[in-house]
Amino acid sequence: MSVRLADLDAHLQATAAARLADFVELLRIPSVSALPEHAGHCREAAAWIAGRLTRAGLEHVEVAETGGHPVVYADWLHADGAPTVLVYAHYDVQPDDPLEEWVKPPFDPRIEDGRVFARGAADDKSHVHMLISAAAAWLTVRGRLPVNLRFVFEGEEESGSENLDRWLAANRERLSADLAVISDTGFFEGNRPSITTGLRGMMYAQLDVTGPRQDLHSGGYGGTVRNPATVLAEIIAGLHTREGRVDVPGFYDDVRPLGEGERAEFARLPFDEADYMAEMGVDALFGEAGYSTLERRGARPTLEICGLWGGFQGEGSKTIIPARAHAKVSCRLVPDQAPRRIFEAIRTRVLELAPPGVTVDMTLINTGFASLTPIDHPATQAAARCIEEVFGQAPLFTREGGSIPVAASFESLLGLPVVLLGFMNPDCQAHGPNESMRIDNWEQGLRTTVRYWEALAALPH
């Protein structure tokens, strides 16, 4: 690696063991944003991060109230004449169920096979810690940062960033910057270095079917009333065609069609369907006809059932007609779909499918817009060069299926171009049991970030 940053590299090498131990400390805090019982843990994580930012030498460190889980803000604005970069990661994590599938408890980190296993180890505390360490390295070794930095660490990304837009809008002036860098993405299949240039949007809702006042004897009443669980199954089945298209009038109306050039880019990616299936443990792939797997994941909208419950769930048998049945439904959206319009279209269809004898409700839980970031922007190109310097391989440019609602908000509310610079390994099992971060990705990601800030200093602004 370059002589130019040899002092910083040496510092990172010398601090490796201490940084890993410190990272494990952060991973021990169960900051699950979706579950109210973890609200205190989210605050604990925010306070922990604020402490580390202060110790690293950042200024205006603040645990800022948003109405939900707090944002942690900090800045360092003494790089006269250099651009200002807003860097973002999130400290909240997904719920840890099913607990019995974890080899070790999700908040008792385990280091094995060159990886750290814990909920949030990859998504996204790896990047929270990396960003703090990158700043600490520059300030310790050089006593300065090469660019002006504003840190925004969110605590509600995994539950839909409900309060963030309001906070961004209210703090527009204080967040003025030239560029936003979001660190919450990962590499391509095979752990090939890559830069994500597209994310899908989100519409998340709950479906509730209510029938009789209470559970009924399925012999005494079976055959005489609508069963809410059966109705729910019928409604869900009615939302797709057998060929995998979403069967909701208007659902595809605003979808920006894929251009020939975009399709060629997807086709160029070195993707092995057999490896992809093996990684998931399935023997077939499925999705909307007429599109490749990568197109379906990165550039086509979907409707998925994320959870389904109602009636008897225990062992053995219990003969009832359940009074209620429920489902969690998520749609991944693409440019130019508007989440609320999609919610209304699905709700209309769901109510159409509802027969007499039950009540059907659909409630919106969260929304987010899709985003595309420009490959030819000098800040994206600079990121590509830094990745190549550290990982020894030029990154691929990929469009991912996941969502980071703030990406669209940085553009629409703050007017900032966005670069997605993240280092998760594709087999990190984000959101699933035994989530893990490869320590080599984490270390090299840190070195890339350290270089990237220097590269951005030269950016025209």
Helix, strand, coil content of the chain in percent (nearest 5): 35, 25, 40
Which of the stretches 28-36, 118-126, 295-303, 384-392 binds Zn ion when contact is defined by CB under 5 A? Answer: 118-126
Identify the three-state secondary structure at position 263. helix
Residues 6+ apart with CB under 8 A from 94: 32, 34, 119, 120, 123, 158, 430, 431
Burial readout 142-181 (b: 16 or more C-beta within 10 A, e: otherwise): eeebbbbbbbbbbbbbbbbbbbbbebbeebeeebebbbbb
Q: Which is nearer to ligand BES, 75 or 184 (CB)?
A: 184
128 touching ligand BES, by CB under 6 A: no
Dist. CA 457–CA 461, nearest whole Å? 9
Which residue of 160, 298, 301, 339 would you call a contact of ligand BES, by CB under 6 A?
160
184 touching Zn ion, by CB under 5 A: yes
Which residue of 50, 82, 177, 202 would you call a contact of ligand BES, by CB under 6 A?
202
Binding residue count for ligand BES, defined by CB under 6 A: 16
Dist. CA 403–CA 331, nearest whole Å? 11
Structure tokens given for 391: 């990982």
| Binding-site string for ligand BES from residue 239 to residue 258, where x marks contact by CB under 6 A and - marks none | --------------------
Q: What's the closest the beta carbon of residue 139 comes to ligand BES, in angstroms?
A: 27
User: Do 231 and 355 touch, CB atoms closer than 8 A?
Assistant: yes
Q: Tell me the HSE value of 383 on the side-chain side, using a 13 A CA sphere.
A: 29
In this structure, the chain runs to a length of: 461
400 touching Zn ion, by CB under 5 A: no
Which of the stretches 31-39, 162-170, 183-191, 286-294 binds Zn ion when contact is defined by CB under 5 A? Answer: 183-191
Q: What's the closest the beta carbon of residue 90 comes to Zn ion, in angstroms?
A: 6
123 touching ligand BES, by CB under 6 A: yes
404 touching ligand BES, by CB under 6 A: yes
Quick one: what does residue 368 bind among Zn ion, ligand BES, none, with the CB cut-off 5 to 8 Å set by partner type?
A: ligand BES
**Amino acid found at 358:** V
Q: What's the closest the beta carbon of residue 161 comes to ligand BES, in angstroms?
A: 7
Q: What's the closest the beta carbon of residue 76 comes to ligand BES, in angstroms?
A: 26
Quick one: what does residue 185 bind among Zn ion, ligand BES, none, with the CB cut-off 5 to 8 Å set by partner type?
A: ligand BES
Q: Which is nearer to ligand BES, 196 or 227 (CB)?
A: 196
Which of the stretches 93-101, 104-112, 182-190, 352-360 binds Zn ion when contact is defined by CB under 5 A? Answer: 182-190
Q: Is the peptide bond before 336 cis (omega within 30 degrees of 0)?
A: yes
Dist. CA 180–CA 172, nearest whole Å? 13
Identify the three-state secondary structure at position 132. helix
Among residues 249, 256, 253, 74, the alpha carbon closest in space to that of 174 is found at 74
- Phi and psi at 306, nearest 5°, equal -95, -20
Q: Which is nearer to ligand BES, 320 or 420 (CB)?
A: 420
Quick one: what does residue 31 bind among ligand BES, Zn ion, none, with the CB cut-off 5 to 8 Å set by partner type?
A: none
158 touching ligand BES, by CB under 6 A: yes
Dist. CA 17–CA 20, nearest whole Å? 5
> Residue ranges of the alpha helices (H) in 186-307?
228-237, 260-268, 273-280, 293-298
Q: Which is nearer to ligand BES, 184 or 215 (CB)?
A: 184
Structure tokens given for 131: 């960003």
Q: Which is nearer to Zn ion, 123 or 454 (CB)?
A: 123
Q: What's the closest the beta carbon of residue 83 comes to Zn ion, in angstroms?
A: 25
215 touching ligand BES, by CB under 6 A: no
Site for Zn ion in 414-433 (CB under 5 A): none
Dist. CA 124–CA 382, nearest whole Å? 23
Q: Which residues bind ligand BES (CB under 6 A)?
A: 123-124, 157-158, 160, 184-185, 196, 202, 366, 368, 400, 402-405
Q: Which residues bind Zn ion (CB under 5 A)?
A: 123-124, 184
